[in-house]
C-alpha cells in the first residue's frame, strides 16, 4: 500500500479544514493509499513560504520517511498567490515528491519521477484563474463600498471619523430638553435610555452639564 501525506490549508481563522481532511482521507481509502500524516494550518496566503511552518514540517517528514506523494484537495489550497503555490510544487519536486490534486486528478510527477509537463501547465492556469477570481471579488467589494459612499454623500450623510466639533451647552439643552426634564425628575439613566433611546454616555454628559 502506497504511503501518502495530506496537505490542507485555510486562509482565515473563521474557516475550517476538517472538510478537506475528511474528503481526502475517504479518497485515499478508496484507492488504497495509506495516509501516514496530515499537515494543515490556518494561515494567510500573504505569508511567505518560509513562514508557513506546516510546509517546512511536511518537507522534513517526507524526507525522513521517504514519502513520494502529497495529496491536496484543490490547487488553490497551496497558497493565495500563484508564485508561492508554484514554489510549493517546486519544493516537493526537488525532493522527488509528487503532488496529487484530487479535484482535478492531476499528478505533478510521472511514474518515472520526471515532471509531468501537462500537469504543470494546468496547475499554472488554475492558479491564475483562482487569482483572477479573487481579484474580481475584491474589485466588486471595492466598487460596492464606493457606490455606498457616493450615495451617502448625495444624501448629505457624513462618512469617516467623527469631526472634532462639539455641541455647546445651549445646543445640548435644546436638543435634549426631554432628557433633561426626566433627569430632573430623578429617573435613572437606564430608564431614560429606554424611554428616549438616547445612549447612557450621552445622558451622563447631559447630567454633568445640568449639574454645573
Superfamily for 2-131? Resolvase, N-terminal catalytic domain (3.40.50.1390)
What number of other Cβ atoms are within 10 A of residue 204's Cβ? 11
CA distance 103 to 90: 20
pTM of the model: 0.55
CA distance 131 to 118: 20
Weakly modelled stretches of the chain, pLDDT under 70: 10-16, 41-52, 77, 79-83, 126-138, 148, 155-167, 212
What number of other Cβ atoms are within 10 A of residue 175's Cβ? 14
Provide the residue count of the chain: 212
Q: Where are the domains of the chain?
A: 2-131, 169-211
Amino acid at each position: 500500500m502506497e504511503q501518502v501525506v495530506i496537505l490542507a490549508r485555510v486562509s482565515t481563522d473563521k474557516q475550517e479544514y476538517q472538510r478537506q481532511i475528511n474528503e481526502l482521507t475517504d479518497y485515499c481509502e478508496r484507492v488504497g493509499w495509506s495516509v501516514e500524516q496530515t499537515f494543515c494550518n490556518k494561515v494567510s496566503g500573504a505569508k511567505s513560504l518560509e513562514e508557513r511552518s506546516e510546509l517546512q514540517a511536511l518537507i522534513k517528514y517526507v524526507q525522513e520517511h521517504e514519502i513520494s506523494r502529497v495529496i491536496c484537495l484543490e490547487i488553490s489550497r497551496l497558497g493565495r498567490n500563484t508564485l508561492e503555490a508554484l514554489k510549493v510544487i517546486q519544493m516537493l519536486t526537488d525532493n522527488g515528491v509528487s503532488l496529487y490534486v484530487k479535484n482535478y486528478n492531476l499528478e505533478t510527477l510521472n511514474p518515472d519521477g520526471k515532471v509531468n509537463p501537462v500537469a504543470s501547465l494546468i496547475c499554472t492556469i488554475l492558479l491564475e484563474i483562482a487569482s483572477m477570481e479573487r481579484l474580481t471579488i475584491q474589485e466588486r467589494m471595492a466598487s460596492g463600498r464606493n457606490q455606498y459612499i457616493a450615495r451617502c454623500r448625495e444624501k448629505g450623510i457624513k462618512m469617516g471619523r467623527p469631526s472634532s466639533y462639539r455641541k455647546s451647552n445651549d445646543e445640548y439643552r435644546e436638543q435634549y430638553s426631554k432628557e433633561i426634564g426626566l433627569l430632573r425628575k430623578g429617573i435613572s439613566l437606564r430608564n431614560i435610555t429606554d424611554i428616549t433611546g438616547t445612549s447612557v454616555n450621552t445622558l451622563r454628559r447631559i447630567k454633568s452639564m445640568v449639574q454645573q
